[in-house]
């Protein structure tokens, strides 16, 4: 992801450690504001407004350096072309993930690169390998295509005249693709190369150990970048910091996932929940909500879960709609649910896919509780504190 940040794998991300950088985009709705650009292969493409600031900056800096308007327009066109390439890179990840049944919520362009928010990360190393490598593979394919175009046009000699900054437009784009492929294959999180490395190691050992190894390699890369950067380019020092934090985050997320996979849902769920019946009026459900802490109220008919209604929907209906309407008219049907015996990492993944703050827990279709995301975070904190206490002599 040359774009420093591209694919955003998002496994069951611990609620305490959201990823803000890109990489694997956080599943939660915390992308900030961005504008809808269009859809490609059914995937929404968005752009962050600061991207326009970048375009304006490129145009202005050309003009302020005494370049003519044509050069300034060419400069802007180049930036737009680079970001089109970044979108194709992200599509590479997204379409590879789709092959394994993983949807992508959207692709967002930021001035530092692109981010695709996958619904979840592939769990099998072979799948992660293909999803991670698909982005840089797109750049390699584009570079080959552009090389072919230059050859056909008889302009292949341009290639030798080019560098990343100057040179003919098509040749410049070809080098940009090569640059993006190489940069993203640096074996360090959050770049694609970090994931490729982890997946390769995970083919031979377990996932957590593979992540630790890949994170350590990434930190060595970060130290090397930082050291070289100190004597040359301050940007490299920034990238080094980014890579260092990426490694720590990835390692922590893998450990959290592993520790959640050992805990059943029953340990973190709330068993005394307020539920509504489908024909209950919205106003009555609103009263239950205001009297308690539940963000989501399960709707149950004869003990069987038939839907869920959220705090926002109920309050909106109370104010703007008909408070006397049956709650079944508001509720979401076909909501995902988990079983008490499922592991918390699977449950957290489903919870994040659902976009809600809690998920119903069922036994043979009958509702037995709710699992709120806060409880998972709380349980993790308690476990970490308990471990720390034991490590200090059991006090
Ligand atoms: Zn990528």
Rounded Cα gap, residues 214 and 207, in angstroms: 10
The whole-number pLDDT of residue 158 equals 55
Residue scoring higher pLDDT (346 or 123): 346
Query: Taken in order 235, 241, 245, 246, is the CA torsion positive or negative?
Result: positive
pLDDT tens-digit profile of 19-56?
222 333 333 334 457 788 888 888 888 888 877 787 78
Ligand 1 center from residue 279 Cα (angstroms): 49
The confidence band for 375, taking pLDDT boundaries of 50, 70 and 90, is: confident
257 pLDDT higher than 60: yes
pLDDT at 155 over 50: yes
| Distance from residue 106's CA to the centre of ligand 1 (Å) | 14
Would you say 240 and 233 are in contact if contact means Cβ atoms under 8 Å apart? Answer: no
Burial class (CB within 10 angstroms; exposed 0-12, middle 13-18, buried 19+) of 3: buried
CA–centroid distance, 178 to ligand 1, in Å, is: 13
The reported pLDDT for the residue numbered 32 is 58
Mean pLDDT along residues 242-253: 86
C-alpha 189 to ligand 1 mean position (Å): 11
Mean of all residue pLDDT scores within the chain: 80
188 CA → ligand 1 middle, Å: 12
Domains, the chain, ranges and CATH? 7-185 (no CATH), 265-379 (3.10.580.10)
pLDDT(128) > 80: yes
The yes-or-no verdict on residue 16 having pLDDT over 50 is no
- 89 Cα–ligand 1 center, Å: 6
Percent of the chain with pLDDT over 70: 86
Angle in degrees, CA 233, 5, 345, rounded to 5: 135
**In the predicted structure, residue 9 carries a pLDDT above the cut 60:** no
* Cα–Cα distance measured from residue 291 to residue 277, given in angstroms and rounded to the nearest whole number: 17
Taking the complete model, does pTM exceed 0.95, yes or no?
A: no
| pLDDT at 141 > cutoff 90 | yes
Residue with tokens 């490590």: 391
- Give the Cα separation of 161 and 37 in Å (integer): 35
**H/E/C letters for each residue in 304-367?**
EEEEEEEHHHHHHHHHHCCCCCEHHHCCECCCCCEECCCEHHHHHHHHHHHCCCEEEEEECCEE
Q: What pLDDT score was predicted for residue 140? A: 96
pLDDT digits (tens, 9 = 90+) for 361-370: 999 888 899 9
Cβ(251)–Cβ(201) below 8 Å: no
Of 321 and 154, the structure prediction assigns the larger pLDDT to 321
Task: Calculate the alpha carbon distances from 344 to 6, 79, 145, 339 in Å.
Answer: 27, 44, 46, 10
Higher pLDDT, 258 or 227: 227
Query: Rounded CA gap, 148 and 322, in Å?
Result: 64
Question: How far away, in angstroms, is 316 Cα from ligand 1 center?
Answer: 40
- Distance in angstroms (rounded) separating the CA atoms of residues 311 and 319: 12
DSSP category for residue 185:
T
pLDDT in tens, 159-217: 555 544 445 778 888 888 998 899 899 898 888 999 999 999 999 988 889 999 999 99
**Centre of ligand 1 from the C-alpha of residue 196, in Å:** 10
> 116: which residues sit within 8 A by CB, 6+ positions away?
6, 7, 8, 25, 43, 90, 91, 93, 94, 104, 106, 107, 108
Query: What does DSSP assign to residue 298?
Result: E
Lowest mean pLDDT among 34-38, 118-122, 150-154, 219-223: 150-154
Cβ–Cβ < 8 Å for 48, 32: yes
Ligand 1 mean position, distance from CA 177 (Å): 12
Distance (angstroms) between ligand 1 centre and the Cα of 383 equals: 34
| pLDDT beyond 90 at 247 | no
pLDDT (0 to 100) of residue 196: 93
């Amino acid at each position: 992801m040359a774009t420093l940040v591209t694919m955003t794998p998002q496994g069951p991300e611990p609620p305490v450690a959201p990823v803000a950088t890109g990489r694997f985009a956080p599943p939660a709705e915390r992308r900030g504001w961005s504008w809808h650009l269009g859809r490609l292969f059914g995937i929404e493409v968005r752009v962050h407004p600061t991207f326009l600031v970048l375009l304006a900056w490129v145009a202005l800096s050309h003009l302020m350096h005494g370049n003519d308007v044509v050069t300034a327009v060419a400069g802007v066109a180049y930036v737009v072309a680079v970001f089109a390439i970044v979108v194709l890179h992200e599509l590479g990840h997204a379409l590879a993930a789709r092959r394994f049944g993983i949807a992508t919520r959207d692709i967002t362009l930021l001035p530092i690169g692109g981010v695709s928010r996958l619904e979840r990360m592939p769990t099998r190393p072979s799948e992660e390998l293909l999803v991670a490598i698909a982005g840089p593979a797109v750049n390699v394919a584009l570079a080959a295509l552009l090389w072919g175009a230059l050859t056909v046009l008889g302009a292949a000699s341009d290639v030798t005249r080019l560098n990343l900054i100057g040179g003919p437009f098509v040749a410049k784009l070809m080098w940009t693709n090569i640059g993006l492929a190489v940069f993203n294959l640096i074996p360090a999180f959050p770049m694609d190369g970090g994931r490729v490395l982890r997946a390769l190691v995970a083919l031979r050992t377990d996932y957590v150990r593979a992540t630790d190894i890949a994170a350590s390699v990434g930190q060595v890369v970060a130290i090397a970048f930082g050291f070289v950067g100190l004597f040359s380019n301050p940007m490299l020092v920034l990238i080094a910091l980014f890579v260092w934090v990426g490694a720590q985050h990835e390692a922590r997320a893998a450990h959290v996932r592993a520790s959640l996979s050992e805990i059943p849902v029953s340990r973190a769920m709330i068993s005394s929940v307020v539920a509504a019946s489908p024909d209950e009026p919205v106003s009555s459900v609103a009263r239950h909500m205001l009297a308690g802490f539940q963000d989501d109220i399960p709707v149950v008919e004869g003990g069987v879960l038939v839907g869920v209604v959220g705090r926002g929907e109920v309050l909106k209906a109370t104010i703007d709609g008909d408070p006397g309407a049956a709650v079944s008219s508001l509720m979401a049907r076909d909501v995902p649910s988990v079983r008490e015996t499922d592991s918390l990492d699977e449950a957290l993944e489903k919870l994040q896919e659902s976009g809600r703050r809690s998920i119903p827990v069922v036994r043979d279709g009958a509702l037995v509780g709710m699992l709120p995301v806060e409880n998972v975070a709380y349980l993790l904190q308690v476990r970490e504190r308990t471990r720390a206490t034991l490590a200090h002599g059991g006090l």
